[in-house]
Chain A
Amino acid sequence: GDSVTQMEGPVTLSEEAFLTINCTYTATGYPSLFWYVQYPGEGLQLLLKATKADDKGSNKGFEATYRKETTSFHLEKGSVQVSDSAVYFCALRRDNTDKLIFGTGTRLQVFP
């Protein structure tokens, strides 16, 4: 069945460092892909999405490109801030519904 695999965390970085969180997926067809973020004590919220191959989603300085040849959707940011500390979830949309399949989440900790 469809699935999402994320790199394990925590990822620990200093402020202004470059961030990559890896995400790969297994799915039939070409599902839409998403990154959600969960800040401490809050629910998840959509960070960015891409709906077809080679699309790039971007928001708040974060980017991810839908690569069908490598079945990947890696999250990147050029310069992280302490306020980016959160748990990041990669997800895919299945069966053309909103029943998303989520990865296990990657905790990011950014220190000043």
Chain B
Amino acid sequence: DVKVTQSSRYLVKRTGEKVFLECVQDMDHENMFWYRQDPGLGLRLIYFSYDVKMKEKGDIPEGYSVSREKKERFSLILESASTNQTSMYLCASSLSTTGDAGELFFGEGSRLTVL
């Protein structure tokens, strides 16, 4: 089975802190994604990576950056956390970039609270 592992289930940080959210997948998938999930807003794409060191902004990239130094690992970075970044963060991976796919495999999520 594909496994997507997010390093922390729950984090509490203070405003202005630098925050790292780590995600590892074990199925050699090319694509990795970071979404945030908020009540009434569903899932919104923050960043997308289609290969090592390749990244693309999603719909809400402001205040975030990402790093993909190895194929299996995709990190989300909050350079200076703010209270409006309190949310559930979901990492996902998928195999292909083209063709008829669309099956994303999700981690269990990291719930971040910024005080």
Q: Of B41, B96, B106, which is within 8 A of A45 by CB?
A: B106
Question: Which residues of the other chain, B, contact A32 by a CB distance below 8 angstroms?
Answer: 100, 102
Q: A102 vs B58: C-alpha distance in the bound complex, in angstroms?
A: 13
- Chain B residues numbered 58-115 whose CB sits less than 8 Å from any CB in chain A: 58, 90, 92, 94, 96-109
A49 to chain B, nearest CB (A): 6
**Shortest Cβ gap from A28 to chain B (Å):** 17
Contact call A43/B90, Cβ cutoff below 8 A: yes
Determine whether A82 belongs to the interface, using a CB cutoff of 8 Å to chain B: no
Given A44-B90, A89-B42, check contact A98 B102 (CB 8 Å).
Answer: yes
A-B contact count (CB 8 A): 64
CA distance A32 to B104 in the complex (A): 13
Contact A98 B31 (CB under 8 A): yes
Residue numbers in B under 8 Å from A98 (CB-CB): 31, 33, 94, 96-97, 101-102, 104
The residues of A that contact B40 with a CB separation of less than 8 Å are 104
| Inter-chain contact B42/A104, CB cutoff 8 Å | yes
Binding site for A on B (CB under 8 A): 4, 31, 33, 35, 40-45, 48, 50, 58, 90, 92, 94, 96-109
Chain A residue numbers with a CB within 8 Å of B96 are: 98
Contact with B along A81-112 (1 / 0, CB 8 A): 00000000101010011111111110000000
Q: How far is the CB of A58 from chain B (nearest CB, A)?
A: 15
Residues on A with beta carbons closer than 8 Å to the beta carbon of B107: 43
Contacts of A93 in B (CB 8 A): 101-102
A42 touches B108 (CB 8 A): yes
CB atoms of B42 and A100 under 8 A apart: no
Contacts of B45 in A (CB 8 A): 99-101
Whether the Cβ atoms of A44 and B98 lie closer than 8 Å is no
Would you list 15 pairs from A and B whose C-beta atoms are within 8 A, ordered by A residue? Answer: A6-B42, A41-B108, A43-B106, A43-B108, A43-B109, A44-B43, A45-B106, A46-B104, A51-B100, A99-B45, A100-B104, A102-B43, A102-B44, A104-B41, A105-B42
